[in-house]
A = this chain, B = another copy of it.
Amino acid sequence: MIRLRLDLAYDGTDFSGWAPQPGRRTVADTLMDPLTRVFGAGAVTGLTVAGRTDAGVHATGQVCHVDVADRRWREVSGGDPDRLVRRLARMLPDDVRVYRIQHVPASFDARFSALWRRYEYRVCDAPWGAPPLRRRDTLAWARPLDVAALNAAAAGLVGEHDFAAFCRRRENGSTVRAITAFGWRRDPDGIVVASVTADAFCHSMVRSLVGALLAVGDGRRPVTWPASLLDRRERASEVVVAPPHGLTLVEVGYPADADGFARRAAITRNRRAPAAADAPMH
């Protein structure tokens, strides 16, 4: 078997998220369909993704891996991964694109080797709504946003914290995460964009953080409010989860080499393991 890293982009609008669900159109199923046709039924295994995006969330820099039989890979690619890129371009629907394929060491794990994920969230605070050609990945926000206030509030969330207040539900493990960067900017076209980087995110964490910050940005909450929620040990019901369509997974960072992949995966698996102290029964 050899391991392939696939870098892909998708418009999440018409998908029920990444993860396969019976009877739903999901990115994972949509990607597996042509791979199975190319390599043969059962010949593609172990599909693993860096960020399991929710329904409606987009990606411009998603990363996943699969394992395929070495012989089939040589037959299909002729040693040139770009051949498969072009073939998938013809087979996939146009709301999913695989833009890079690389043969990687078996120690590479798209999920556990990742050092960090970066998401962006786009908001248009114009009174007339969101630009029509960007309405699929831009939230229309009827109240003007103060980018300086957004940045001040975001700064209070940077660092390693228990983000329980911002996680929709516990995933049988820790809600401690390390946000390494969290900034907001206003682009030349007027769109306000959040960029947040962390080692990993809990379920719905980015949308909860953005929802809390928007309440600061439009003046309804004080700048100190989001950080004050870090004391909570469970989800803060007063935080409104921002809609999925403003959110895009833009980048995933990995170590530089095979040793790094394995080392990082070992650290991540250890950290994410359910720990009794982190899973109170309520």
Chain A residues within 8 Å of B, Cβ to Cβ: 9-11, 58, 60, 82, 85-86, 88-89, 94-100, 126-133, 135-137, 140, 248
Contacts and interface: CB of A to CB of B under 8 A. Distances in A.
Given A89-B127, A95-B132, 5 more contacts: A9-B132, A9-B133, A58-B133, A94-B129, A133-B137
Contacts of A89: 127-129
B98 A128 contact: yes
Copies in the complex: 2
A178 to B, nearest CB: 28
B133 A85 contact: no
A123 to B, nearest CB: 15
A86 B127 contact: yes
A132 B97 contact: yes
A135 to B, nearest CB: 5
Contacts of A98: 128
Contacts of A129: 89, 94, 97
B60 A130 contact: no
Contacts of A133: 9, 11, 58, 60, 136-137, 248
